[in-house]
Amino acid sequence: MASISAGMVKELRERTALGMMECKKALVEADGDMELAIENLRKSSGMKAAKKASRVAADGVVRVVVSNGVGTLLEVNSETDFVARDDSFLDFTDEVIAAAAATESSDIDALMVGGLEERRSALVQKIGENITVRRMAKVNAPVVGSYVHSNKRIGVLIGLEGGNAELAKDVAMHVAAVNPLVINPDDVDPQVIEKEKEIFVAQAENSGKSVEIIEKMIGGRIRKFLAEISLMEQPFVKNPDQTVGQLVKLSDASIVGMVRFEVGEGIEKIEVDFAEEVMAQARGN
């Protein structure tokens, strides 16, 4: 009898989108043979879920809960916007966010062990689309505020020291709209700054200006770049005459945490040419 490792179970889960226990059982029955386990699962009731696992789930919703100074932000994906509005899908996201808020961890694999993973797998088979619990983040601070856009596709958590929930919500709304990369300019990765500097240098060298003027131009452009991507330096969306930093300072507060999720960001969606797909099938490809 082959030894079934956690890594083998994880690989089979990733390749089939089936539950952990179902994958482990299939590997045991196949004596550790991955391809045989997949073949056996395809012959069983899990075949539909396995077929859907390769599809890109880049739609869905974000969910948020704030309780006792801890905010939990979650992204759950589906393949289509239609399913993202389905009651069964939304009921599932209710279960997941409740479980996520009840744990201190942000580990998705640990969260999904047991009932939630089995529930997800069953929902895949019922709805006929791949469904994934993609990511989770937490913000723990004296004051935590949140904002979820009306389309449920953008969610933000903000943590403050000082201030109040209303201020935190205002800042969260700003983050949802403007999408800063960092809280303060000092938080920007030096490699990012260096890359931008290289671009500015190349542009300036073609201007024909003197070295001294070029250096001043580059310095100004870097400062502008940092201000544009840093939350504290950005003009506040509700009052562009003041920066977010000035707004927060009026309440003797500081921003100590920021998380922004937008559904599907970073996921490469495969664009399918259905006419070409039909032609390929007709040609026997």
Could you give all domains of the chain from N- to C-terminal order, each with its CATH number?
A: 6-52 (1.10.8.10), 59-184+246-262 (3.30.479.20)
* Pairwise CA distance, residues 130 & 121, whole Å: 9
The confidence score (pLDDT) of residue 256 equals 97
The confidence score (pLDDT) of residue 40 equals 80
Q: By the 8 A CB rule, do 123 and 88 touch?
A: yes
**Residue 81, CA atoms < 13 Å, CB-side half-sphere:** 3
The confidence score (pLDDT) of residue 182 equals 95
Q: Name the more confident of 62 and 46.
A: 62
pLDDT in tens, 63-116: 999 998 999 999 999 998 999 999 999 999 999 999 999 999 889 989 988 789
Reading phi first (left if > 0) and then psi (alpha if -120 to 50, else beta), residue 182 is in beta
- The amino acid sitting at 43 is K
The confidence score (pLDDT) of residue 55 equals 64
What pTM was computed for the model? Answer: 0.73
Q: Name the more confident of 226 and 210.
A: 226
Q: By the 8 A CB rule, do 168 and 159 touch?
A: yes
> In Å, how far are 14, 22, 48, 49, 71 from 43, measured between CA atoms?
18, 13, 10, 12, 43
The confidence score (pLDDT) of residue 51 equals 47
pLDDT value at 14 more than 80: no
Tokens encoding 118: 């089995």
The confidence score (pLDDT) of residue 116 equals 92
* Pairwise CA distance, residues 74 & 118, whole Å: 19
Q: What is the mean pLDDT of residues 221-241?
A: 93
